[in-house]
Each structure stands twice: as C-alpha cells, then as structure tokens.
C-alpha cells in the first residue's frame, strides 16, 4: 500500500512539473506607454454632489497585442483633473489590426463646484470637459 502511494504521489509531482513548465499558456506584458484619448463621453454636464457618473474614454490600439492598462488621474487643484490613459503591449504573436477600446472613470464628487477635466490626446493637446456639481 505504501509503495502504491509513493507511485501515485510521484505521478502527481511529475504532472505538476510538466504543466508548470509550459510557457505558451500566457503572454507577458512587454511595455506600458501613454495612449491618446480619441474622444470622451460624459452623460450629464450637471450632477449632484456624492452622485456617481461614468465618464467614458475611447482610444485606438494598432495591434491585438495592445490594450488598456490604466489611467493617471491627477488632481491639479480641488476642481481640475488631468487624465492620461496608458496601454500595455504583450509579447504574443498578434495581427496588426487597429481596434478601438472604451474605458471609464467613475466620477464621485465630494464637493460642489465646476470641475474641469483635461484628457490627453497627444503632445500638449487635451480634450477639455466641464461638469457642474450642485
């Protein structure tokens, strides 16, 4: 019985080793870089304090190996926000076909005022949107 358990345990260990050595099951992120925001959709330009509004941004990617990574969301002052989007690139073999991605920021203001959002569209160019919070 002990010998049977040793053989079974050895088979399990061998199976785990073979499975864990297969590098083809995933792609690694090779780089992170800024991606231009092509357009912005804000549903309401006036909202109540403590409400939540989705702000959608759209960006183009030149390969199926690229996708949305995250935002850099900087508070310049109490009411101004600078938003830059970032993309990732993997090491997979992908086609060079352009596709557009949509992502969103959930805006939840904690004070009243007129908020100014600036979304990065390229070198020193920005899309500016304002939201009045009552």
Distance, CA of 117 to CA of 58 (rounded, Å): 15
Burial of 127: CB neighbours in 10 Å, binned 0-12, 13-18, 19+: middle
Is 22 or 92 the better-scoring residue by pLDDT? Answer: 92
Q: Residue 20 above 80 pLDDT?
A: no
Closest CA to 120 of 19, 51, 2, 37: 37
pLDDT value, residue 75: 92
pTM of the model: 0.78
- Model confidence at 24, in pLDDT bands (50, 70, 90)? low
Calculated CA dihedral for residues 80, 101, 61, 26, nearest 10 degrees? 110
- For 59-105, what is each residue's pLDDT tens digit? 999 999 999 999 999 998 999 999 999 999 998 988 888 999 999 99
pLDDT value, residue 26: 73
- The 3-state DSSP class for residue 124 equals coil
pLDDT value, residue 2: 47
Distance, CA of 40 to CA of 105 (rounded, Å): 11
pLDDT value, residue 3: 46
Among the listed ranges 22-26, 45-49, 57-61, which one has the minimum average pLDDT value?
22-26
Domains and CATH numbers, the chain: 27-133 (2.60.40)
């Amino acid at each position: 019985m002990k010998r049977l358990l040793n053989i079974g345990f050895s088979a399990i260990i061998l199976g785990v080793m073979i499975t864990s050595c297969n590098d083809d099951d995933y792609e690694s992120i090779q780089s992170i870089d800024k991606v231009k925001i092509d357009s912005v959709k804000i549903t309401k330009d006036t909202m109540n304090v403590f409400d939540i509004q989705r702000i959608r941004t759209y960006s183009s990617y030149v390969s199926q190996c690229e996708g949305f990574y995250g935002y850099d969301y900087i508070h310049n002052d109490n009411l101004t926000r600078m938003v830059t989007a970032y993309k990732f690139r993997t090491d997979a073999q992908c086609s060079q076909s352009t596709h557009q991605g949509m992502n969103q920021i959930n805006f939840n203001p904690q004070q009243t005022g007129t908020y100014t959002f600036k979304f990065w569209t390229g070198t020193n160019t920005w899309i500016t949107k304002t939201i009045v919070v009552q």
